[in-house]
Amino acid sequence: MNFKTTTLAAALLGMTALGAQAQDLRIALQSDADVLDPDQSRTFVGRIVYASLCDKLVDITPDLEIIPQLATDWAWSDDGTALTMQLREGVVFHDGTPFNADAVVRNIARSQNLEESRRKSELSSIINTEVLGEYEVRFDLSAPDATLLAQLADRSGMMMSPDAAEAAGAEFGLNPVCSGPFSFAERVAQDRIVLERFDDYWNADEIHFDSVTFLPIPDTTVRLANLQSGDIDILERLAATDLAQAEGDDGINVESAVSLGYQGITFNVNNGDRGDNPFGNDARLRQALSYAVDRDAINQVVFNGAFAPGNQPFAPTSPWYDDNHPIPERDVERARELLAEAGYPDGIELEVQVPNTTVPLQLMQVVQSMAAEAGIDISLTSKEFATLLADQSAGDYQASQIGWSGRVDPDGNIHQFVTSGGGINDSHFADPEIDRLLDEARASTDSEVRAESYDAARAILNEELPIVYLYHQTWIWALDDSIQGFTPYPDGMIRLEGVTMAE
């Protein structure tokens, strides 16, 4: 009898332990990711998925220090034109292919040469990638590039199975194969992305979930309601207007971090036929819109004062912010003067496409009201975010409310958006002096020299305004109180190493 009781108890304990391991983490995203190919993608939520799917050569700490991930050590040559990396041994991709120096070479080549790649400008300084040993690789550069490590801490450094990537070509995103803690299981567009635990992950002891399901839920109120009902475990980008409600719920923990990015309005200056429009052709009209908006009021009305007004790709708290061009005060009279100078004394119409999620729509409704007082009649076209991005890339827009999640190095917030041929220059704005200044900033490791270049570029961009910056957000996460070990990062990513869920 004692034997049977003991055996039954042991069996029950075993079942309990097994059940404890079978945990699915459910994360609500503000929108659906675009293509799950690190070379082609550009969405912020896509990067959140990648944090669980695709390891990078290097990563960052919450204090923005570059640390090892797939590369364990690195060193620059004395002249700054070569970067040598030692690679982690014993790593395999989800298809069993070994990770080594050859895999790195093939990944960089794909990022630079795939026709659809958006990483070309990020890696343009690399002229050769050399295998020095099975786990040693060297990047030869055309000139010193202070931004390269930061690029390798993001999508440019995400390693894909070279065999799978070569076989799939531009269709890789349908079945992505990387080397992260979770492998791709399934995707239903606008419904879910499911990843499964990868048992052969090099850091598997730090991963405590059997699967992760990402659920796009655009409505902020619905996302919070799902968290409160227990249908999700983590909510990314809690709306500032919902902060008090979440903090007042004993079953919810709130975490936050000041972001590296910005939100604004991008104008189509020369991207296809639709770039031939009054706002695309005349910077005075773009200046008029900038003067028409009250950035402080936007922060208070839409975000309950939780965010920071902005007029540059860097927040006013950033060491890269140009104090010579502070956030402009609202000046409706000056906006009207600029309209008249441009030949529109009776006002003008502007179509702005906007993501079909709660916060962007609220933001643009406020901007719409402010602009109307200056004679700018804004019509809003609401689109699902992936559609908005596709239309923006194709030039099928006049203006677009869009932002950027931000990068560790300042180059990541500006170069690819305003240089000729920049990977995310959907405006198609082009200015040879901007190209020269921002390339110059990339080539120096001296922060003072770099700041001078950025400030000189700001003087030009402040007049041209291909992007009108509006604010800098604070990342706010809401988590079920069963989630333990979560660390907020200023890049807004959700890293699951060490994160657990209490029974």
Q: What is the DSSP string of 376-399?
A: EEEEEEEE-HHHHHHHHHHT--SE
The CA-based dihedral angle spanning residues 148, 475, 250, 27, taken in that order and rounded to the nearest 10 degrees: -60
Q: What's the CATH superfamily of 262-472?
A: Dipeptide-binding Protein; Domain 3 (3.10.105.10)
Residue 454 has pLDDT above 70, yes or no: yes
Q: Strand pairing of 262-267 and 308-309?
A: unpaired
Across 123-181, where does the E strand assignment appear?
Answer: 126-133, 136-141
22-31+180-255+475-501 and 55-165 in the same fold:
no
Q: What are phi and psi of 223, to 5 degrees?
A: -60, -45
So what CATH class is 55-165? Answer: alpha beta
Q: Which two tokens stand for residue 351?
A: 């179509």
Which pTM does this prediction carry?
Answer: 0.78
Question: How long, in residues, is the chain?
Answer: 503
Q: N- to C-terminal Cα distance for the chain?
A: 31
Rounded distance between C-alpha atoms, residue 491 and residue 471, angstroms: 16
Is there a contact between 338 and 291 (Cβ–Cβ < 8 Å)? yes
Q: Which two tokens stand for residue 417?
A: 């958006």
- 149-166 mean pLDDT: 97
Q: Per-residue confidence at 7, pLDDT binned at 50, 70, 90? A: very low
Q: Taking the domain 22-31+180-255+475-501, which CATH number applies?
A: 3.40.190.10
Q: Per-residue confidence at 318, pLDDT binned at 50, 70, 90? A: confident
For residues 4 and 146, which has the higher predicted lDDT (pLDDT)? 146
Residue 4 has pLDDT above 70, yes or no: no
Percentage of the chain lying above the pLDDT 90 cut: 88
Domain layout of the chain by residue ranges: 22-31+180-255+475-501, 55-165, 262-472
- The pLDDT tens digits for 230-261 are 999 999 999 998 999 999 999 999 999 989 99
- 37-41 mean pLDDT: 97
Within 8 A by CB and 6+ apart from 436, the residues are none
Q: Walk across the sheet containing 24-29 and list its strands.
A: 182-188, 192-197, 211-216, 24-29, 234-236, 474-480, 252-258
Q: Which two tokens stand for residue 9?
A: 């108890």
Quote the pLDDT of residue 21: 54
Residue 417 has pLDDT above 90, yes or no: yes
Q: Which two tokens stand for residue 137?
A: 């690789």
Percentage of the chain lying above the pLDDT 70 cut: 96
Within 8 A by CB and 6+ apart from 400, the residues are 265, 266, 268, 352, 353, 354, 388, 392, 426
- The pLDDT tens digits for 326-378 are 999 999 999 999 999 999 999 999 999 999 988 999 999 999 999 999 999 99
Quote the pLDDT of residue 63: 85
Quote the pLDDT of residue 275: 97
Rounded distance between C-alpha atoms, residue 341 and residue 364, angstroms: 25
